């Protein structure tokens, strides 16, 4: 018996494929939330670790819970098996994203990780925190290795964001830079069923180990249509230097897309862009002033070019400005995004693992008929 297929939009746009209590995105109203909280409000007022605790454990921590959570993270980052695996991987001097993609499965083997299907809830949570904790270490170590720099010692009195900044920039992070980057990372932790998150959930639905879910999600994120846009948005700002209006007009006349503008979901302003514009303005400087001018001129041109489709600055545009102002080099923009999104992937993998139904859609065959 042949199963009747249902036609759905290309890319599954607008199709609900699962239920989640983790996050929701309302593109018409221009907001998104983590559990019961506005995600951008959280980004303005809580630390990276607090938002992480909310997504994977289900609630914002009190002071005692937060301290215990930070200890769990620090312990995971200092495990000897992680150091051994990182040393092996970094001998090839890979790009940071590639290093993380390699470390996840290798570390899973070294620590004897088991499939999510075979673990109880507490053990799954242990894996989620362990693998979420290593992302900042692997990414920053890979970057330093490519530059020929030894690793810096972490400051136990500072949080994950401050220590990551110190590793990547080779300087002690200022409170202003730590706050700005923390806002970005919290805002970027999750955003509905994007391509990489859906990939993680598909793999989790098979009962596979968490490292496989994360490696697959990283593969999806590395694509330029998903996680590769921040540096491209900054390149537009560089190329338009001096006469942004003329450059923007020429790009649109040539039929090229303005990187950092427009979003597949938001039909109003991207709330993440609004948040990061605030953070950029707090940091100030000529580069921020140029970005503000570029945004204003770009949105004016886009309103005339496509009057029936609002195209506003998206998260990539001001994310690139904020990261640059914090001293993060362009080649680390996407890896830094991956650091944040790893938290969301682990939370989604935990949620998907509670459902025993494998994700197994169909495809409509459009090839030549069977030859008999």
What pLDDT shows up at residue 229? 60
Under 8 Å between Cβ of 263 and 314:
yes
Tell me which architecture the domain covering 229-325 has in CATH: Orthogonal Bundle (1.10)
Distances (CA, A) of 235 to 110, 228, 283, 309, 313: 40, 12, 20, 24, 15
Q: What is the pLDDT of residues 12-45, one digit of tens each?
A: 877 888 899 999 998 888 889 999 999 999 999 9
What pLDDT shows up at residue 3? 64
* Ranges for all domains in the chain classified under CATH 1.10.230.10: 229-325
Termini Cα distance of the chain? 20
Distance CA 155, CA 362 (A): 50
Sign of CA dihedral 166, 77, 57, 319: positive
Distance CA 58, CA 21 (A): 9
Under 8 Å between Cβ of 319 and 276:
yes
Pull the structure tokens for residue 103: 């470390």
Under 8 Å between Cβ of 103 and 60:
no
Under 8 Å between Cβ of 232 and 319:
no
Pull the structure tokens for residue 48: 């990276």
Q: Is 316 a catalytic site residue?
A: yes
Catalytic residue, candidates 263, 324, 348, 351? 263
Which residues of the chain fall below pLDDT 50?
1
**Which residues are paired to 23 by β-bridges?**
34
What pLDDT shows up at residue 353? 97
Distance CA 55, CA 189 (A): 9
**Which residues are paired to 24 by β-bridges?**
33
- Enumerate residues 6+ apart whose C-beta is below 8 A from 248: 240, 258, 294, 297, 298, 301
What pLDDT shows up at residue 145? 95
Catalytic residue, candidates 316, 324, 348, 351? 316
Residue (of 188, 214, 220, 221) closest to 340 by Cα position: 188
Pull the structure tokens for residue 368: 């030549």
Distance CA 172, CA 160 (A): 13
* Ranges for all domains in the chain classified under CATH 1.10.580.10: 36-175+191-225+331-353
Tell me how long the chain is. 372
Pull the structure tokens for residue 346: 């682990």
- Based on the number of CB atoms within 10 Å of its own CB, is 332 exposed (0-12), middle (13-18) or buried (19 or more)? buried
As a whole number of angstroms, the longest Cα–Cα distance in the chain is 72
Tell me which architecture the domain covering 36-175+191-225+331-353 has in CATH: Orthogonal Bundle (1.10)
Q: Is 177 a catalytic site residue?
A: no
Pairing of strands 23-26, 31-34: antiparallel
Phi, psi of 241 (to 5 degrees): -55, 130
Distance CA 220, CA 238 (A): 27
What pLDDT shows up at residue 7? 80
């Amino acid at each position: 018996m042949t199963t009747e297929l249902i036609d759905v939009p290309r890319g599954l746009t607008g199709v609900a494929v699962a239920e989640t209590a983790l996050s929701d995105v309302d593109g018409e109203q221009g907001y998104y939330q983590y559990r019961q909280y506005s995600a951008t409000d959280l980004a303005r007022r809580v630390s990276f670790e607090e938002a992480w605790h909310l997504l994977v454990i289900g609630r914002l921590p009190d002071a005692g819970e937060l301290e215990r959570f930070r200890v769990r993270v620090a312990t995971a980052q200092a495990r000897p098996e992680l150091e051994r695996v990182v040393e092996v991987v970094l001998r090839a001097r890979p790009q940071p994203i590639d290093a993380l993609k390699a470390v996840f499965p290798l570390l899973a083997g070294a620590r004897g990780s088991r499939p999510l299907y075979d673990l109880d809830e507490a053990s799954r949570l242990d894996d989620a925190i362990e693998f979420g904790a290593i992302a900042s270490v692997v990414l920053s170590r890979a970057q330093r290795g490519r530059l020929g720099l030894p690793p810096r010692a972490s400051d136990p009195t500072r949080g994950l964001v401050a220590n990551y900044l110190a590793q990547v920039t080779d300087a002690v992070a200022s409170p202003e830079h730590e706050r700005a980057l923390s806002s970005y990372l919290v805002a970027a932790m999750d955003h509905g069923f994007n391509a990489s998150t859906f990939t993680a959930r598909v793999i989790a639905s098979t009962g596979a180990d968490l490292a496989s879910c994360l490696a697959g999600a990283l593969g999806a994120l590395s694509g330029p249509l998903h996680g590769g846009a921040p540096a491209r948005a900054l390149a537009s700002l560089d190329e338009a230097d001096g006469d942004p209006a003329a450059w923007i007009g020429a790009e649109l006349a040539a039929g090229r897309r303005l990187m950092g503008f427009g979003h597949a979901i938001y039909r109003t302003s991207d709330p993440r862009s609004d948040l990061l514009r605030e953070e950029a303005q707090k940091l100030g400087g000529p580069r921020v002033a140029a970005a503000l001018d570029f945004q204003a001129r770009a949105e004016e041109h886009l309103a005339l070019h496509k009057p029936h489709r609002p195209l506003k600055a998206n998260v990539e545009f001001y994310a690139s400005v904020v990261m640059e102002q914090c001293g993060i080099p362009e080649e680390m923009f996407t890896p830094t995004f991956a650091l944040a999104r790893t938290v969301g992937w682990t939370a989604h993998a935990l949620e998907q693992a509670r459902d025993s139904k494998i994700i197994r859609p169909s495809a409509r065959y459009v090839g030549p008929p069977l030859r008999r």
